[in-house]
Amino acid sequence: MKKLIGFALVMSCCFSAVAQADSTKKRIVDSTCACLTAMPDIDKKSKEDLQLAIGQCMMEKSMTDFMMLAQERNIEMTDMDGMQKLGAEIGIDLVKSNCKAMNDLMLKMAESKVEYVEKDAPVETPSIKGVVQSVELNEFVYVTVLSGAKATKLVWSDYVNNGNEYVKDFTKLKNKTVQFYFSSKDVYSPKAKAYITVNMITGIK
């Protein structure tokens, strides 16, 4: 009986910690969304300004909660890779939360770099059609597509044309045959401590 009581107490503490972390993350998502919603002159901002605004809202309005969440995850302030992954995780939750301001920002950022000849297809944008082998949620969403015998890894981080149905559950893509439009982009990788070239998804069909 003592062992059962001890086990119950341990499980109760675990569930309490998980619930607290989820509550902290929800406060960050809600306050970031409110900050973005109240931001003036969104239509006049450049893509770079919009990206900066998202980070500022996330940190300036939720710094205490962000630090608390990092502490709950045992992420040190000096762990740039861990902090980046945590920020990306919150960004994904922000999209999943149906925050209209966030969705509008991502749409504007996508429109600033992709032109379309029709509703579904970007102009002069490379594409690949194949079966989605895997979907990994790390610092970004990584999608591995098998086309013939070749596997290609793509990154889903910005707004993706025709991708709204998947943002709440990216795993729905798995085993589906999808055509992905993408563009190559150099990004800094804290893990590699160097710039790497990744294929950023811009649209699906």
Domains of the chain with CATH codes = 2-111 (no CATH), 127-204 (2.40.50)
pLDDT at 19 exceeding the cut of 60: no
Tokens coding 96: 């999943």
Task: Note the pLDDT of residue 181.
Answer: 92
Residue length of the chain? 205
The residue-averaged pLDDT of 194-201 equals 82
Per residue in 21-73, pLDDT (tens digit) is 578 888 888 888 888 888 877 667 776 777 777 777 777 767 788 788 888 88
pLDDT, tens only, 122-132: 445 788 898 99
Q: How far from the centroid of its chain's Cα atoms is residue 153's Cα? A: 16
Q: What is residue 61's predicted lDDT score, i.e. its pLDDT?
A: 64
Across residues 154-178, what is the average pLDDT? 86
What end-to-end distance do the CA atoms of the chain give, in Å?
Answer: 58
Supply the pTM of this predicted model: 0.46
- How wide is the angle at C-alpha 109 spanned by C-alphas 108 and 110, nearest 5°? 90
Judge whether 84 and 190 are in contact, CB under 8 Å: yes
Mean pLDDT of the chain: 75
Q: What is the residue type of 116?
A: Y
Least confident of 35-44, 142-151, 167-176: 35-44
When pLDDT is averaged across residues 138-162 and rounded to a whole number, the result is: 84
pLDDT band at 190 (very low <50, low <70, confident <90, very high): low
Lowest mean pLDDT segment, chosen from 102-106, 160-164, 198-202: 102-106
Does residue 6 register a pLDDT over 60?
no
